[in-house]
Amino acid sequence: MAQFKPTALYQFTILVFMAAVGALTTMAADADPLLDFCAADPNIPCKTNVTAADFFYQGISTQGNPNNDPS
């Protein structure tokens, strides 16, 4: 049985394919995954008027003060 020896064209094709898959995955990624959070509390009733601000909090993705240790 002959051993398969990859050619330069084969290697280039695999490289282009991997780069394309990587680019598609990067474009499909979330811009800031730290903003995607949901903390449901069953003891609080639902709001009647929900706005976009109810689902967005900018403070979780910004750098905080490392010297502000509550313990």
Which tens digits make up the pLDDT trace of 3-22? 777 788 889 999 999 998 88
pLDDT tier, 70 (very low <50, low <70, confident <90, very high otherwise): low
Question: Domain limits of the chain?
Answer: 29-60
Q: Which pTM value belongs to this model?
A: 0.35
- The tens digit of pLDDT for each residue in 19-60 reads 988 877 766 666 666 555 566 777 877 777 878 887 777 776
pLDDT at 18: 93
Residue 12's Cα: distance from chain center in Å?
29
Q: How far apart are CA 57 and CA 5, in angstroms?
A: 54
Residue in the block written with tokens 């990624």: 29
Q: Which tokens is 69 given?
A: 């240790």
Q: How far apart are CA 10 and CA 7, in angstroms?
A: 5
